[in-house]
Amino acid sequence: MASAETHYTLPAPSFDKPVRLLIVVAPYYKDITDQLVAGAKAAAEGCGAEVEIVEVPGALEVPTAIAMSERLQKFDAYVALGCVIRGETTHYETVCNDSSRAISMLGLGGACIGNGILTVENRAQALARAEVAGQNKGGGAALAALHLLALSRKWARSTTGIGFRA
């Protein structure tokens, strides 16, 4: 049982330059995603990040919105939030796999993304994972994005001079 297990959590990152974080949420199960958003906002603001939130129709649109923002806006990191509960059709597998794959591809392309799209069997599992006082997967996703941003900034090449290398 997962509730009896203990897990190590990295300390929250700190930043010496401002951080702009975009939370993209698919509020299909609004009571659940409201908890995810609350956890993500609290974690991000605890690290001093400025947070903006946008809503999209469903989990499949979350990576598209992040990709659009990467091209058109100036955010440092992203949090993908939503909830997919297994139903009676194979649509569940499509939504889970395709949204996750697209988020992974964006991450491999350099975007700092924390994936907090819950993929669960039932509402009880979703609530346990979403609740801020519970597993707080929204907060975990925000911290994951911020940890990736911290690594990105740590490893960024400084650019000095113009043109040729000495």
Which pair of structure tokens corresponds to residue 103? 């988020």
Catalytic residue annotation: 91
- Report the distance separating Cα 138 and Cα 118, nearest Å: 9
Q: Hey, what amino acid is at 95? A: V
Query: 29: buried, middle or exposed (CB in 10 Å: 19+, 13-18, 0-12)?
Result: buried
Work out the number of other CB atoms within 10 angstroms of the CB of residue 45.
13
> Whose CA is closest to 20, among 63, 56, 69, 60?
69
Tell me, rounded to whole angstroms, the distance of Cα 36 from its chain centroid: 10
CB-based contact 126:59 (threshold 8 Å): no
- Report the distance separating Cα 61 and Cα 56, nearest Å: 6
- Report the distance separating Cα 74 and Cα 54, nearest Å: 14
